[in-house]
Amino acid sequence: NYENFLVDSPFKASSSSKPSYGSFHQQYWLDGKIIAVAVLDILPYCLSSVYFYYDPDYSFLSLGTYAALREIALTRELNTKYPDLQYYYMGYYVHSCIKMRYKGQYYPSYLLCPETYIFQPIEKCKPKIEVSKYHRLEEDSTKEDANGVVNLSEVLILYDRTRMPYSSYKNKNKESNDEDEVKEYAKLVGRKSYKKMLLYRDS
């Protein structure tokens, strides 16, 4: 849905004239005419390039490349206001799609390993994804997704209107048989989240 993807946003609009977190449309004008629009999300750790569209009559200007350079400059500018905002995120990279390969021409560029969720230099990744569309990008076979490790003792439960670790919940409700369900929940949301969120259990 076009509106859900490029118009509607879960972020609240800000009345401030200064850039703040949220969704924005960056317009490119030439001789009084709008020729391109970039849809951007300014997030706590990165500037995310969501989408870019332009008037095909101006394709000779390489507007996608120009917009990427402008967005990199904007990322550096925002970093002076938000020190944690250090990265420019260009979204999906499909190596077999020629139109996407421009994303790898900026240095340094990184791709996220689909198994460890650790970013890897794109130079090391290209030979692997040229052989297979899906490939583990992290070379160290001993590394795994630390956020995907499930420790049930760290999972927080909301039971009988009380916050407690899963172990305490099991002691109070010994007849419960939901360990597999709780493990699945913890794996889906990740370790960072299940240590903060409360999983509701019926009393």
Q: What is the pLDDT along the chain (203 residues), one digit of tens a residue?
A: 667 766 777 666 666 666 688 889 999 999 999 999 999 999 999 999 999 999 999 999 999 999 999 999 999 999 999 999 999 999 888 888 888 888 888 999 999 998 888 999 999 999 999 888 888 999 988 888 888 888 999 999 999 889 999 999 999 888 888 999 999 999 888 888 999 999 999 87
Q: Specify the DSSP element, H or E, that contains 160.
A: none
Rounded to whole angstroms, how far apart are CA atoms 96 and 100? 8
Long-range CB contacts for residues 12-20, cutoff 8 Å, separation at least 24: 18/81, 19/78, 19/81
Q: What is the reported pLDDT for 20?
A: 81
Comparing CA positions, the residue from 3, 6, 53 lying closest to residue 28 is: 53
Rounded to whole angstroms, how far apart are CA atoms 36 and 54? 4
Comparing CA positions, the residue from 115, 88, 124 lying closest to residue 103 is: 88
Contact predicate 198/156, CB 8 Å: yes
Contact predicate 91/109, CB 8 Å: no
CA atoms within 13 A on the CB side of 138: 14
Q: What is the reported pLDDT for 175?
A: 82
Q: What is the reported pLDDT for 181?
A: 94
Which residues face 159 on adjacent strands? 162, 201
Q: Specify the DSSP element, H or E, that contains 182.
A: helix 179-189
Comparing CA positions, the residue from 124, 123, 96, 120 lying closest to residue 110 is: 120
Contact predicate 12/22, CB 8 Å: yes
Q: Specify the DSSP element, H or E, that contains 153.
A: none
Comparing CA positions, the residue from 46, 98, 102, 93 lying closest to residue 72 is: 46
Burial class from Cβ neighbours inside 10 Å (0-12, 13-18, 19+) for residue 62 reads: exposed
